[in-house]
A and B are shown apart, each in its own frame.
Chain A
Amino acid sequence: MVTRKIELKTYLIVGIITLLIFILGMALGIIIDNERVRSIEQKSKEQELAQQSLQFQYAYMNSLEMNEAACPVFKVTLTNSLNDLGESLAKLEQYSKDTDINRKEFGLLTRDYILDNLRYWLFARRTRELCDMDFVEILYFFSDKCDNCPDQGVILTYYKKIYRERLLVFPINVDYENDEKSIKMLRERYNVTELPTIVVKDTSYMGVVQKEKLGNIICGSFKTEQAEC
């Protein structure tokens, strides 16, 4: 009979090396997560500044009544800000999904972004009339808990890619409505009882609006004829 001996030492050493590698990975993950919070916070500050700048430009246009002349500058600032906002929001969504540790921080940041979105939405509406710009803005009410909301998201993204700065989509996550009363306000104003709902030119469309129908709605909302329609 063979006498069998196992050296516990080997098992322990292997275990320690394994744990070290594992902890190294975990630590890296935590560092990255914090870095993400920081970068989003920074972006958020930049966007706040951009918004103040817009506010000033807007007030300036109103008071001096030189609307026409100031419009081009205003237009550029607005489109850039909106693109920026869209990108940050996409990142924020991805980071919040990944995070295990900074859930609260990402939650607060999301609220921040919802407010930004609403402010921009107001700007956009007023500017369109003031500067005679031709774009369509869509309010998109959704929830993380709603099953077919992602479908509407996909279709909206598709048209956003086609019309780019001529189509402004303002996503509103109603999951935050208890924290952010302005969401509730808008929801009541547009009579949103079902999710997803999109609002185009103050008309609400409940349930998923399919590709064809949404295409027609968008086309019908431009002031002038568009090549894509």
Chain B
Amino acid sequence: MNILMEAFLWITYLSALYFAIFWLLTFIEKRDDFRKEEKRELTISDYPYVSIIIPAYNSESTIQECLSSVANLDYPKDKLEIIAVNDGSKDSTGQMIREFAKANKKRNIRLISRENKGKAASLNEALGMAKGELFACLDSDSFVERETLKKMVYAFKTGGDDLKIVIPALKISKPKNMLQKLQHMEYLISMFLNRILSHLDSNYVAPGPFSLYSKAAVVDSGGFDENNLTEDQEIAYRMQSNHYDIVHCHDAYVHTVAPDSISGLSKQRNRWYKGGLINLINYRRIILNKEYGHFGMFQLPMIFFLSIGAIATVVFFNYYVTWPVLKNLYNLYLVGFDIMPYIKSFRPTFDLLSLDLAKGMAAFFVLFFTAAIVAISVKNAKEKLSIKTLMYAVPYFMIYYIIISFIAVISLAELLVGKTQKW
């Protein structure tokens, strides 16, 4: 075997092992903190005023449910305003928001309608008229649970003066097809990772679905970056670079609609990965910089590693799957696709010495740590931990992860030739 390939394989394995062990050790180390979090009681003496901003573009299929979930929040009515921004939708989104506001007069709902300018611009415009001390932004394809805001505000109240963003626990809303169920698994894992990152002061994204911000911190640092592909990552990087706190609220559930097709998924991820890399490059001074704690020493190198990991996955997939398949097809062509002699003479043999045990063991450890992380993630998200759920881990890593890696590598390649898209 090619020595370069071999080295690449072992380095990828070592790094993956390192990161997985780091997470699990941190989890064990912080278990007491986690338990304390679970037992907290939500007592808020004075509720801060919160503005909820909903930027909406062509979202007639989800806007109704989104608005209802917000109107249904368990939060004092006089301390909450809802600002919906119709970002030049070509469908009936604007109309639907107007009707909803009319039907829910008791809730303070305002609508801004204007031509299409993008999400960051919508947020900035709404920020200009928001009265809240805190504000949350909610993607129009996402829905909050009744208790969510209260839990997040409680986190804000108890998190100290340096806390500027509280991020929610994201789940996929009603996953139906296989692709959505696999994304569901992915979100559960990131939920667990976000919780750990929160204890390491290393959260690197304030997701579009319902992150709660200190308005002053965002406005004073210049608002959302309208030219950034992933402004929700950029704002998190900015807060981290200013040494502010971002906290993940482990049970503030928000449900978001997942793409139901590969093309939808690749469009979404293309933007995420490009934006992610651009932000990584823009904030490169933080990478491996001790001043920024684990965020600099662990999290950013890990994001960098994930890109390498994606490239490695694509390379290994082609080397171990695509190439052998093509070679075998070619060999079959050489013998005129006559497979009968092979079938007739096939005798299953097992020889321990023929197995590549070093690689077998590597695979075992990767599987072991993966299973551990999947199991902990499912429990952490208060989902039912059953054999069936765990079974999803198999296609998750065998198929989904490979698809995602391909998308990441394509995004990376497009970025290198200078092709970026707006969203």
Contacts and interface: CB of A to CB of B under 8 A. Distances in A.
Interface in A5-36: 5-6, 10-11, 13-15, 17-18, 21-22, 24-26, 28-29, 32, 35-36
Contacts of A25: 358, 361-362, 365
Interface string A131-160: 000000000000000000001001100100
Interface of A: 1-2, 4-6, 10-11, 13-15, 17-18, 21-22, 24-26, 28-29, 32, 35-36, 39, 91, 94, 97-98, 100, 151, 154-155, 158, 161-162, 164, 210-211
Most buried by A among B244, B245, B354: B354
Nearest to A39: B353
B17 A6 contact: no
Nearest to B331: A154
A164 B338 contact: no
Interface string B349-362: 00101101110011
A69 B295 CA distance: 85
A36 B358 CA distance: 14
A207 B291 CA distance: 66
Contacts of B201: 2, 4
Interface in B25-63: 25-26, 29
Interface stretch (B134-142, B187-195, B339-347, B411-419): B339-347
B222 interface: no
Contact of B297 (A11, A39, A158): A11
Q: Give the secondary structure class of B's interface.
A: helix
Contact of A155 (B13, B294, B335, B358): B335
Interface in B294-325: 294-295, 297-298
Interface of B: 1, 6, 10, 13-14, 17-18, 21-22, 25-26, 29, 162, 201, 242-245, 290-295, 297-298, 331, 334-336, 338, 341-342, 344-345, 351, 353-354, 356-358, 361-362, 365
A21 B292 CA distance: 30
Nearest to B355: A32
Given A22-B14, A22-B17, A211-B334, A161 B358 contact: no
A7 to B, nearest CB: 9
B25 A13 contact: yes
Given A10-B22, A158-B341, A161-B342, A151 B334 contact: yes
A32 B331 CA distance: 31
Contacts of B291: 4
Given A39-B353, A151-B334, 20 more contacts: A1-B162, A2-B243, A4-B294, A10-B25, A14-B18, A15-B18, A17-B21, A18-B14, A18-B17, A22-B17, A24-B361, A28-B358, A29-B357, A91-B353, A91-B354, A151-B331, A158-B342, A161-B345, A211-B334, A211-B336
A32 B357 contact: yes
B13 to A, nearest CB: 8
Nearest first, the 4 closest Cβ-Cβ pairs linking A and B are: A4-B293, A29-B358, A161-B341, A158-B335
B213 to A, nearest CB: 17
A98 B18 contact: no
A169 B294 CA distance: 62
30 contacts: A1-B162, A1-B242, A2-B244, A4-B291, A4-B292, A4-B294, A4-B295, A11-B22, A11-B297, A11-B298, A14-B18, A15-B18, A18-B21, A22-B13, A25-B361, A25-B365, A28-B358, A32-B353, A91-B353, A91-B354, A97-B1, A98-B356, A155-B334, A158-B338, A161-B341, A161-B342, A162-B341, A164-B345, A210-B334, A211-B334
